[in-house]
Every structure is written in C-alpha cells, then in structure tokens.
Amino acid sequence: MSLALRPRLHHQLIAAGDSRTLAQLEHLGIPSGEEPDGAVVAITLPTDAGPSRQVLAAALIDYTLRLDPLITEVRVSGLDGAVAEEIATRLPLEIVEPSAARADLVVAVGASDHADLVLDAGGWVASVGEELAFEDGRVLNPLGPLAAACLGTAEIFKILFASSFPDTKGARRFLPAAGRFSCFDYDEAHGPGLEKMRIDAYLLGLGGVGAGAVRVLGGLGPHLEGGVALIDHDRLDLTNLNRVTYATLVEAHAGGFKVHSAARHLRAMCPNLDVVPHAEEFDRFKRTLAPRRGDRRYDVLITALDDDEVRHAAQRELPRVLIDGSTGRDFNARVERVVFGEWGCLGCTRRGAPAVHDDPDGCGNIADPRAPSLSFLAAFPGILAAGELVKEALGIEATLRGEFQHIFYAGPNPDLRSEPARRADCVVGCSDTSWLDAYRKKYAA
C-alpha cells in the first residue's frame, strides 16, 4: 500500500512562536522567523518485511512526521495502512494518495538500489547505510529497531536541514553517519535474544526522554511482567506533543497528566505489567513510599527529565541502580548507569550547585533550557535507558558501567563511553562513608 501523510501540527494547531521545533532550528542558526520550505520524504519497506523492520518503519515514519515544518509530506510504501491510521490518533495528519512528483529524499528500510539512505535493524543492533542479515527471535526486541528509527531520522534531519540552510552553523557541523550501533554494548555486538522478563522499576519523567523508554516497554508487550511506577506532575499540551509520542491528540487537547496517558498506553500494550501512575512531584511521591529514606527501596530508578536538582534528589534516595537519560544543547544525548559507590554518581557527573550538607534534598540547577526539542533526539537516551533496564531484568553482565554519550552531529562513537570517577566535591556525597554504609545496609542480602 502507498500513502502520503501530511502533518498538520504546525500552523494549524501550533503558532510559529510556540513551536519547539522552530525554536530548535533557530538554535542551529536559522534567522528568527524564517522557516523551511518543507520537503517530501519517501520511506519504503519490503512487502515481506519481518517484525523488526516493521517496527523500525513505523517509528521512522512517526519521528519523521514530527520534523514538521522541515518536512511537508511523508510518502509510505509497503506498510499496512492501519499503521498510518494509528499514528493519526497521536498526530494531526492528512492521509492522501501520493502524487507522481519526485520526493526530495528516499529512505529504504532494508535493501534498495534506489534509496538515498538505507536503514535496517535486528535484535539489539541498528544499521545506517547497510542491510543486516538477521532473523527475528521468538520475542521481538524493539531496541535495535527503535534506535535505528532515531538514528535514521537524525540523518533525514541533517540532510534536509543542510539543504535548506547550508550556511548556518548547524549545517557546517553536520557529518553523515554510517555503520552499525548496538544497544547491547554501544558498539556492534548483536547480544542475546530476549525472553520473558520481570521488572521492578520507577520511571521519573514522562517527557521526550521518558517517551523513548515507554516506547521500548510497550514494544515488549505481553512478555513484560512485574511493575512500573510512572512519576511526573506535568500536563500534556499541543506544544509538547511533538516529543511525547505515546500521547493521543484527544489527550493533548484535554490537557491531562502525562503519566495517565503513558499508563493508558502501557496497559494496552503490556497486559501482564502492573502500571501505576503518580501525577505528582518526586519529592511528594517518595514520601508516600515511606517517611524515612532508609525504608524507601527502588530496584531500578530511571530519571528522564530536565532538572538536575531532581536528579540529585533521586540519587540521594539511594536506588539499587539509577539509570539517567538526558539531552544537551549541542545535539548530544547521554545515558548513565549508576551503582552507588562503584564509580561516580550523578552528583559527580551532573554537579549543579555546591552541596548544602544540612539540607539533604537541596542543591542542583535545572538543565539547559535550550536543550534539543526534536523527538528523535529526546527519545534516543530514553531508548538506551530502557535497554539498561532490560539488561538488569535479564541479569546480563553487559550493563553499562558509567555513561555513554552520542552526539548527533556525527555518528555513534564507542569512545564516548566512560566510567566516571568519584569526585571529592560530589554534590550528593557518594564518597562519604555514611552514604555508602546507608546504601549497603539498604540492599544487604
């Protein structure tokens, strides 16, 4: 089936002055008030595509449509029309018959002799520029396909931005990416197949980064058991719809809480997972678990937000494992995994303001308010964070020790993986013996 999808979020529902996508383009160098002409992108999928390629194609179409107004139309061939109709529940779209006019960019999922860009994925691995030889396992792994969708949308963005604004600072820095990337080891390893898994997780933040994690969890479907608590006091609106990919148009118009929308999505996708939404700030939520920090236990806590003060408060809660996903103003994304006391914690790597030792919930600065607002960029660290959760659930030893950064100006680089050292001036105090003793006591066998 061939369809043309025309996004209608910008100008029709969001004024130019309220567009976070346009704000991002201005940060990359286009003059304020200037807009791209809009391009037509064609995405092709083989008719015999397996589940991994179908997941990749659906996510790629979704993320590409959210580049509006950089794109005006996405032409799709080889995908079930029901996918387009489902996306239309989450984005305002016009679905029409494609015209005969030539597309500005042709992207193929899988092999193609006539594409400008080839993407593929299987298991833990994403590929930009080449087809993979891969057979889907019994349990679909959504990590490689979703990572490939983000990396592929980034290439689409770079190509179209550079062609529309070749003299900007952003276009001059963009480099094409190619090769394979693994969510398993942040290099190229294929990793093991998935099986039914059980999680005990807390997801703090349901914005763009949290949406990436939600998409992975939803992709695991009935194979995911256990429980997840969702914590966020923010509400949906049309201006954040471009990044909050789990939300529907109806929910955005109603202005409900993000956690309720994310919970509705996960319950529909993961019938064996206990999903509990908490529409409140973290400081209030944590006190509902127990009055004392020592009695509050978190097996895995994922922080997916833009506030370093809240990150530090979460780190001081001493979760068994803390996984952080974040974006930065220089088109970079980062995932960090902390096992308290083994290497530097979030108080070492995201230092914020000087520590206030007599206020255990104090200190920290909010993250850069100019951080990127593009859906693929925000989702990528959330996808990687969810990948770390999957590895924890399966007991895989390839879990990240420290942090991995990806700078979308170029391609994934395993050299940007590191194990942060503990700092003597850590704002959390992870070198303090009393904190280390409290952590060991909390999780003593």
Residue 260 resides in a domain: yes
Give the pLDDT of residue 147: 98
Question: What is the Cα–Cα distance from 238 to 212, expressed in whole angstroms?
Answer: 18
- Indicate if 176 and 108 belong to the same structural domain: yes
Which amino acid would we find at residue 122? G
Report pLDDT digits (tens) over 264-274: 999 999 999 99
One domain for residues 65 and 163: yes
CB 58 within 8 A of CB 79: yes
What is the spatial distance between Cα 47 and Cα 27, in angstroms, rounded to a whole number? Answer: 40
Instruction: Confirm whether 221 is domain-assigned.
Output: yes
pLDDT tens-digit map of 108-124: 999 777 899 999 999 99
Same domain, 174 and 234: no
Q: Sign of the CA dihedral 358, 361, 366, 372?
A: positive
In a shared domain, residues 282 and 407? yes
Which of 125, 154, 182 is the C-terminal boundary of a domain? 182
Q: Look at residue 32 in the predicted model and tell me its pLDDT.
A: 82
Same-domain pairing of 259 and 398: yes
Q: Which of these, 389, 232, 416, lies nearest to 333 by C-alpha position?
A: 416
What is the SS3 assignment for 337? strand
Residue 257 DSSP class: B
Structural domain of 130 = 2-182
pLDDT of residue 372: 61
* Per-residue confidence (pLDDT) for residue 360, from 0 to 100: 33
CATH no. for residue 352? 3.40.50.720
169 with 260, same domain: the answer is no
In this predicted structure, what is the pLDDT of residue 112?
76
**Domain total in the chain:** 2
Instruction: Give the separation between CA 55 and CA 123, rounded to whole angstroms.
Output: 11
Residue 187 falls within a domain, yes or no? no
Whether residues 278 and 142 share a domain: the answer is: no
Burial profile 344-354: b = 16 or more Cβ within 10 angstroms, e = fewer: bbbbbbbbbee
Provide the pLDDT for residue 445.
63
pLDDT (tens, 9 = 90+) of the chain, 445 residues, equals 799 999 998 878 887 777 878 888 888 888 888 888 899 999 999 988 999 999 999 999 999 999 999 999 999 999 888 999 999 999 999 999 988 889 999 999 997 778 999 999 999 999 999 999 888 888 999 999 999 999 999 999 999 999 999 999 889 999 999 999 999 999 999 999 999 999 999 999 999 999 999 999 999 999 999 999 999 999 999 988 999 999 999 999 999 999 999 999 999 999 999 999 999 999 999 999 999 999 999 999 999 998 899 999 999 999 999 999 999 877 899 999 999 999 999 999 987 643 333 333 332 233 344 456 799 999 999 999 999 999 999 999 889 999 999 999 998 999 999 999 999 999 999 999 999 999 999 998 6
**Integer Cα distance of 91 and 87 in angstroms:** 6
Kindly state whether residues 117 and 207 are assigned to the same domain: no
Residues 155, 201: one domain?
Answer: no
Whether residues 162 and 209 share a domain: the answer is: no
Q: What is the pLDDT of residue 227?
A: 98
Task: Measure the CA–CA gap between 355 and 288, rounded to whole angstroms.
Answer: 25
Of 278, 300, 283, 298, the closest CA to residue 360 belongs to 283
For residue 144, is it within any domain?
yes
**Residue at which a domain ends, from 159, 182, 205:** 182
Residues 224, 270 within the same domain: yes
